[in-house]
Amino acid sequence: MKLYGTPPTRATRPIWLLNELEIDCEIIPLDIPAGEHQGAAFLAINPFGKAPALVDGDLAMAESVAIMMYLAEAHGGERFLPTDPAERALMHQWNLFLVAEIEQPLWRMGLHTVIYPEAERIAADVPLARRDCLRMLAPLETHLQGREYMVGSGLTVADFNAAYTLDWADEDGACWRPSPTVAASWSACMRGPRPRPASPRPLPGCMPAKSRPAFARTSRPSSDCCPASDRCPSDKHQRTNA
Ligand SMILES: N[C@@H](CCC(=O)N[C@@H](CS)C(=O)NCC(=O)O)C(=O)O
């Protein structure tokens, strides 16, 4: 089995699960700043031209959360998967919610602060994306009140996805800090036997590289919000990897 992509990209999601499930897999770095993900060799594996991608026998697939699900289902002995159909459905719901409703506005913030060429950035989209993200973080926080896990009574794929995505929100200028409830749920993942994979090198304009064992911070007042320019992902990388 081969997984293309390394932390801090979204490859972190499946790599974390590979580690937790102790699945033997070759991790193949992709030089995204050099455009390796757009080269013919990688496009033959993942026509989307993005990291991560997984190759397992005849299967070649993309999408970080879909890869996590495949790993848990095909190689994980049903670990991190609810057996109850209703709980499994809710795990899917939260996985899609995290990617569509939390990650997407975070990605918009990243695109329009550091990733797009400066001339193509739309500064006005950054506060809109931040607002959209905060609006969706609120029901997630409510959901976690009194719960240790996203779904049911144990860790599932959705918890690892949430820990990764919420760490990004915490890092990336959404002006959000995890409440103690979220922190408790999140730290269940971070405390797992296998720590979140750390970045081997900085990758400007992608993900926060920081790997932290636990979170105990409370929400900050909005007046404490930093301007996006002061909290861009690449800036974080510089500081994290310094
Ligand atoms: N929805 C995809 C997003 C993949 C994605 O955008 N990956 C980034 C790295 S974190 C990438 O390869 N970017 C290069 C590009 O967009 O050209 C997933 O979750 O796997």
Are residues 187 and 214 in contact, defined by beta-carbon separation less than 8 angstroms?
yes
Tell me how crowded residue 175 is: count the other CB atoms within 10 A of its CB.
22
Q: Tell me which of 20, 54, 75 is where a domain ends.
A: 75
Residue nearest to atom 11 of ligand 1 (CA): 50
Q: Which residue has the tokens 């900085």?
A: 202
Whether a cis peptide bond, with omega within 30° of 0, leads into 193 is no
Ligand 1 centre and the CA of 89: distance in Å?
25
**In a domain? residue 47:** yes
**Alpha-carbon span 99 to 157, nearest angstrom:** 13
Q: Which residues line ligand 1 (CB under 6 A)?
A: 9-10, 32, 37, 49-52, 62-64, 206-207
The lowest-confidence range among 41-55, 121-135, 160-174, 205-219 is 205-219
What is the pLDDT, as a whole number, of residue 195?
A: 59
Give me the domain span that covers residue 7.
2-75
Q: Find the mean pLDDT for residues 122-132.
A: 95
Ligand 1 centre and the CA of 103: distance in Å?
11
Residue 219 confidence (pLDDT) above 60: no
Question: For residues 174 and 64, which has the higher predicted lDDT (pLDDT)?
Answer: 64
Q: Name the DSSP class of 217.
A: -
**In a domain? residue 80:** no
Which pTM value belongs to this model? 0.82
Q: Tell me which of 55, 75, 95 is where a domain ends.
A: 75
- In Å, what is the CA distance from 116 to each residue of 109, 134, 165? 10, 23, 21
Angle at 27 between CA 81 and CA 52, to 5 degrees: 65
Are residues 56 and 76 in contact, defined by beta-carbon separation less than 8 angstroms?
no
**In a domain? residue 67:** yes
Confidence of residue 1 (pLDDT cuts 50, 70, 90): very high
Residue nearest to atom 13 of ligand 1 (CA): 50
Residue 50 confidence (pLDDT) above 50: yes
